[in-house]
Amino acid sequence: MADSLIAAAWLMAIGMATVFSFLLILIAVIVVSSKLLVNQQTLAPNSDSMTSPSSTTLAVIAAAIHQYRQRR
């Protein structure tokens, strides 16, 4: 019985060490990548470069919404 408890404790320790090591590596990768990518352009475009949709597009969207609401 004592042998199986010792084996279980070793298995638990190895599992916990593996998870802890993985988490440390993951944190290190996140920190390094955030420092490397801090100067990169953000994912969202500038609001100046965004254009509003044309009136035709807005009319099509409004018609689709109206038709959807009538069918419900």
Model pLDDT for residues 7-66, shown as the tens digit of each residue: 999 999 999 999 999 999 999 999 999 888 877 666 666 666 667 888 999 999 999 999
Sign of the CA dihedral with 32 first, then 34, 40, and 43 last = positive
In a domain, 23, yes or no: yes
CA-to-CA dists, residue 33 to 27, 41, 44, angstroms: 10, 14, 19
CA–CA dist 29, 39 (Å, integer): 17
Domain count, the chain: 1
The residue range of the domain holding 21 is 1-38
41, 17, 37, 39: which is closest to 29 by C-alpha? 37
* pLDDT at position 36: 86
* pLDDT at position 51: 79
In a domain, 55, yes or no: no
